[in-house]
Amino acid sequence: MMNSTVFKQTTTSALALVVVFLGSYQPALSSEPVSTSEAKPETPGQFAASTSSGNLANKLRHIDPLDEGRAGATHRGKDPHGKLTVDQQISVALQHYQEGRKPQATVVLSQAMKKFPDSAKLYDVRATLELQNGNTKEALADLEKAVQIEPDNPIYLVNRSQVYLKFHREKEALNDLNRAIELNPDLIPARFNRGSLLAYQGKNEEAVKDFDQCIALNPHLPAPYFNRASVYHAQGLKDKAIKDIENFIAIAKQENWKKSAQDLLKVWKEEKS
């Protein structure tokens, strides 16, 4: 059985991509196995920066949608964003969220949904915000809607799988990840999260295959090395585990995780001696 400390690190690292890949806007892949209790997730504003319309929010002057009469705004009224496209509405909502106006962000998205009821992207983004606010039931409902609208979008399936895990619905999460990989075999978040879930279930050989694929697709991404090392250690393959954890230390950037890996490496080397 896997060492409990390593197991905790493996399962928290499985969550490293949850927030990063929530939302159909895909920023640079998080390279660290982030502990959800120690690190803040990326903000929705960072999602906006990675989109083609991300800079639009900086060019528009907005009023608070909950305060229709603010003087000096360039647009006002019951629905001041009514003429914007889906991507523009999302950029506005993310700007509100980034600047601390969380209720206003939700209002913008909800108003946009009335105009664009078949936009899976809007439901996906609102799920991101709801999840960051701790509203997991609401996030799941929005992701269910997003998948209903676009059942063959692998990103939405990955996102829903991670919310399923919050409700301990492992079978459904695995089904979503399997389907996402079927649709896009090279989608790293799907491979990474499936490998982490399989490791949690004790299916180590299958988990290693997914981490192998992640590393083959992007050998500069630290997190799969860390998780694969933990699985190797659970299998008694200590040399392989040590090599992977050394690779992780060499390329990881987050100092607290490098320190944790260095401590782990010391323990594993002592076990061999």
Q: What is the pTM of this model?
A: 0.73
Average the pLDDT over 49-61 and give the result.
37
pLDDT above 90 (res 63): no
Token duo for residue 221: 């991404």
Give the mean model confidence (pLDDT) for residues 65-85. Answer: 55
CA 66 from centre of chain: 29
Average pLDDT, the chain: 77
Higher pLDDT, 100 or 43: 100
pLDDT of 82 reads 64
Q: According to the model, what pLDDT value does residue 173 have?
A: 96
pLDDT of 80? 61
pLDDT of 132 > 50? The answer is yes
Q: Mean pLDDT across the stretch 27-40?
A: 30
Residue 133 has pLDDT above 60, yes or no: yes
- Is the pLDDT confidence value at 125 over 90? yes
Half-sphere exposure of 253 (CA within 13 A, CB side): 5
Using CA atoms, how far apart are residues 172 and 168, in angstroms rounded to an integer? 9
In the chain, % of residues over pLDDT 90:
61
pLDDT tens digits for range 187-229:
999 999 999 999 999 999 999 999 999 999 999 999 999 999 9
| SS3 label, residue 201 | coil
Q: What is d(CA 255, CA 258) in angstroms, rounded to the nearest whole number?
A: 5
pLDDT at residue 229 in the model = 94
Q: What is the per-residue pLDDT for 66? A: 52
How high is the pLDDT of residue 142?
96
Answer whether residue 27 shows pLDDT above 70: no
- What pLDDT does 37 receive? 29
According to the model, what pLDDT value does residue 49 have? Answer: 31
Phi first, then psi: what are they for 93, rounded to 5°?
-60, -45
What pLDDT is stored for residue 273 in this prediction? 78
pLDDT at position 79: 57
